[in-house]
């Protein structure tokens, strides 16, 4: 049984002369074309032989037995078809006449293909515009593009957009190239059956490798995120986590944890910590914590004093994203508050510190090195207590 070999195609399917030249060079190495696929060609290994290959274009995807017989009588054997391209071969010593002796007449075989490629390119371009519009809305609609990218939710859509853009580019290139080939044939210039294919082979191989790698990695990301994602009840004792604890801010030994207000999957969501992972933020914690101080009331007499704290922590792979991430976190959490109420403050141990205070509600946005922290506290402790606890914790993940 003859051994088969699969090889990546050297270039785009509409480069007719390059494919003919490639088939001939492969036959000279003992690899004889058997079948063409979307990206690969199948060869049968045999004795090296000088062969000529020609590609005929027809909108009909199948070649009838009568047509094959007609080509055989002219010295050409049918080999295979791909899309609208049909491949024929002939031993070089046979010196068979060309399939098309009149270039201007051959140009008519490309007329219908030209129309189809224009339609296909138009559809792909419209799809590209719609997809890019959807991705843009996904990233920018909430006004938090950096946060959307860091969370990793738009990675797959971005990869898909790149693929669609490349498809649109190749579709347009195919349409333009076939039209240019038609004009060349009409002018009486025949197809170059010995066109160099090596340059496009290297380019095509590189692009194929990069696309395979990128698509493969993008497919892995969601599974890694699901595997690493975890949520647990936050223990009352200190954990080895870079988060600001409510007890450290309150500094009130009488504070206790109340009964859970919402339980799901054995997690007290009022006192929980969640861990997330993304390519740009391999360390990402979100925590909520609430307490009760028995015998103490809110000043407005609305009920027993129940301070709460929320912390978000990011350790970034790209520290330059830190400032933009803080801007996005402010945009996400400021609600109806005026942006002027978020005040940038100097701190010797931080690269950036922005604070917001509205009676019992205090917010701290801090960045140091590759770390970003957001702390939202509701209670009577001083804002400086929140800031200093943030500074203390952020240093553990800033390097």
In this structure, are residues 84 and 18 in contact, taking their beta carbons and an 8 Å threshold? no
Is the separation of the CB atoms in 88 and 71 below 8 Å? yes
In the predicted structure, residue 302 carries a pLDDT above the cut 90: no
pLDDT at 137: 77
Residues 54 and 164 in one domain: no
Radius of gyration of the chain (CA): 33
Indicate the burial class of 261 (C-beta count within 10 angstroms; 0-12, 13-18, 19 or more).
exposed
Q: Which of 173, 189, 174, 171 is nearest to 107 (CA)?
A: 189
Among the candidates 48, 81, 99, a domain finishes at 99
pLDDT at 270: 93
Q: Does one domain contain both 94 and 139? A: no
The residue with tokens 């009577």 is 380
Give the model confidence (pLDDT) of 221-264 as tens digits.
888 888 999 999 999 887 788 999 999 999 999 999 988 888 88
Higher pLDDT, 144 or 304: 304
Q: Is the pLDDT of residue 1 over 70?
A: no
Asked whether residue 104 is assigned to any structural domain, the reply reads: no
Query: Tens digits of per-residue pLDDT, 20-79?
Result: 999 999 999 999 999 998 788 999 999 999 999 999 988 776 788 888 898 899 999 999
pTM of the model: 0.71
Residue 59 lies in a domain: yes
Q: What is the distance between the alpha carbons of residues 375 and 326, in angstroms, rounded to a whole number?
A: 12
Residue 34 lies in a domain: yes
Residue whose C-alpha is closest to residue 324's, from 144, 155, 136, 137: 144
**Where among 178, 203, 222 does a domain terminate?**
222
Residues 257, 268 contacting (CB under 8 angstroms): no
Give yes or no: residues 146 and 294 share one domain. Answer: no
Q: Are residues 114 and 211 in the same domain?
A: yes
> Rounded distance, CA 208 to CA 318, Å?
28
- Tokens (6 digits) for 284: 């990402």
- With respect to residue 207, please indicate whether it lies within any of the assigned structural domains: yes
Statement to judge: residues 184 and 249 lie in one domain: no
For residue 338, what pLDDT is reported?
84
Mean pLDDT on 151-160: 73
Q: How far apart (Å, rounded) are the C-alpha atoms in residues 165 and 146?
A: 22
Domain end residue (candidates: 99, 131, 149): 99
Q: Which residue(s) pair with 52 in the sheet?
A: 90
Structure tokens at 156: 């797959």
Which token pair is 189? 């210039």
Same-domain check for residues 218 and 233? no
Residue 16 has pLDDT above 60, yes or no: yes
The reply to whether 399 falls in a domain is no
- Percent of all residues in the chain with a pLDDT value above 70, rounded to a whole number: 99
* Burial profile 270-295: b = 16 or more Cβ within 10 angstroms, e = fewer: bbbbbbbbbbbbebbbbbbbbbbbee
H or E, element range at 63: none
Query: What does residue 278 show for φ and ψ, rounded to 5 degrees?
Result: -150, 160
CATH of the domain at 346: 3.40.1000
pLDDT > 90: percent of the chain: 54
Checking if the pLDDT of 216 tops 60, the result is yes
Co-location of 272 and 378 in the same domain: yes
The model's pLDDT over 112-121, given as tens digits with 9 standing for 90+, comes to: 888 888 888 8
pLDDT band at 206 (very low <50, low <70, confident <90, very high): confident
Q: Are residues 91 and 197 in the same domain?
A: no
pLDDT of amino acid 348: 95
Shared-domain flag, residues 119 and 263:
no
The answer to whether position 92 is within a domain reads: yes
Structure tokens, 220: 């892995």
Claim to verify: residue 35 and residue 166 sit in the same structural domain:
no
**Domain total in the chain:** 3
Whether residues 114 and 197 fall in one domain: yes
Q: What is the pLDDT of residue 284?
A: 95
> What does the mean pLDDT of the chain come to?
89
| Dihedral sign computed on CA atoms, order 22, 24, 29, 32 | positive
User: Which residues span the domain enclosing 235?
Assistant: 229-394
Q: Is 149 within a domain?
A: yes
The answer to whether residue 119 is domain-embedded is yes
**177 shares a domain with 114:** yes
């Amino acid at each position: 049984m003859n051994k088969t070999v699969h090889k990546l195609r050297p270039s785009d399917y509409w480069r007719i002369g390059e494919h003919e030249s490639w088939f001939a060079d492969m036959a000279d190495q003992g690899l004889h074309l058997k079948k063409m696929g979307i990206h690969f060609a199948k060869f049968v290994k045999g004795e090296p032989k000088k062969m000529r290959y020609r590609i005929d274009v027809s909108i009909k995807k199948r070649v009838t037995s009568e047509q094959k017989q007609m080509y055989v009588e002219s010295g050409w054997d049918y080999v295979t078809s791909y899309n609208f391209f049909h491949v024929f071969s002939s031993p070089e010593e046979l010196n068979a006449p060309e399939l098309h002796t009149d270039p201007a007449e051959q140009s008519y075989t490309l007329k219908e293909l030209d129309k189809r490629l224009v339609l296909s390119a138009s559809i792909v371009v419209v799809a590209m515009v719609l997809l890019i519009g959807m991705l843009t809305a996904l990233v920018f609609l909430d006004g938090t593009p950096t946060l959307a990218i860091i969370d990793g939710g738009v990675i797959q859509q971005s990869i898909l957009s790149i693929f669609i853009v490349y498809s649109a580019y190749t579709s347009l290139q195919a349409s333009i190239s076939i039209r240019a080939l038609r004009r060349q044939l009409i002018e009486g210039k025949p197809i170059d059956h010995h066109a160099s294919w090596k340059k496009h082979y290297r380019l095509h191989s590189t692009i194929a490798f990069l696309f395979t790698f990128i698509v493969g990695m993008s497919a892995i990301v969601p599974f890694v995120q699901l595997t690493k994602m975890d949520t647990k009840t936050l223990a009352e004792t200190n954990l080895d986590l870079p988060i600001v604890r409510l007890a450290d801010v309150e500094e009130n030994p009488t504070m206790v944890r109340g009964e859970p207000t919402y339980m799901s999957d054995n997690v007290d969501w009022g006192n929980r910590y969640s861990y997330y992972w993304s390519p740009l933020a391999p360390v990402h914690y979100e925590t909520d914590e609430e307490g009760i101080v028995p015998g103490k009331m809110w000043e407005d007499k609305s009920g027993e004093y129940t301070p709460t704290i929320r912390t978000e922590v990011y350790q970034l792979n790209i520290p330059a994203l830190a400032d933009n991430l803080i801007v996005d976190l402010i945009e996400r959490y400021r609600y109806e508050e005026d942006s002027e109420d978020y005040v940038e403050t100097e701190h010797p141990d931080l690269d950036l510190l922005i604070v917001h205070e509205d009676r019992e509600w205090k917010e701290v946005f801090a960045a140091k090195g590759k770390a970003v922290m957001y702390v939202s506290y509701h209670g009577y402790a001083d804002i400086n207590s929140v800031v200093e606890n943030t500074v203390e914790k952020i240093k553990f993940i800033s390097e």
